[in-house]
Amino acid sequence: MKKSEPTSFADIFKARETQKPVKAPAYSWQDLALQIIKELGIPDAKKSSVFKICRDKPAPVVQRAINDTKELCQSGEKWKYFFKIIDAPADAPYKPKPYVKNTRYN
C-alpha cells in the first residue's frame, strides 16, 4: 500500500506537529553516556553522574569500565557496580599508610 499524499497545507502541518524532531548528541561523550544509561538501566537520579563521568574521563577508560561491568556483574543492579569500577583508580600504586606513633603523654 502507498502512503497517502497530503491534500492540503493543513494536512502537512498536522503531520509535522505529530513528529517530534530527534536531536543528535553534540559531542561523542554524550552519545557514550546515553548508551551506558540505556544498557545498564541507570535511574533518573544518577543520569547526570554518567554524563559527568563520560565528559571528564577518557572514552577508553569508560568503555573498559562498561565492559568489566557487563562481564563481572551478571545479576543485581549493574549500574551500582559500574560506579564502583569507574571510581576505583586503575593505575594507582598501593601506598600503605605510615605508622604514626602516639605522641600523647599519660
Cα 48 to Cα 20, 30, 42, 51, 98, distances in angstroms: 23, 11, 10, 5, 37
Q: What is the pLDDT of residues 47-70, one digit of tens each?
A: 999 999 999 999 999 999 999 898
Residue 52 near residue 82, CB atoms below 8 Å? no
pLDDT of 94 higher than 60 = no
Model pTM above 0.75: no
Which is nearest to 86 in space by CA: 38, 39, 52?
A: 52
Q: What is the pLDDT of residues 9-45, one digit of tens each?
A: 787 777 777 777 777 778 899 999 999 999 999 999 9
φ and ψ at 60, to 5 degrees?
-60, -35
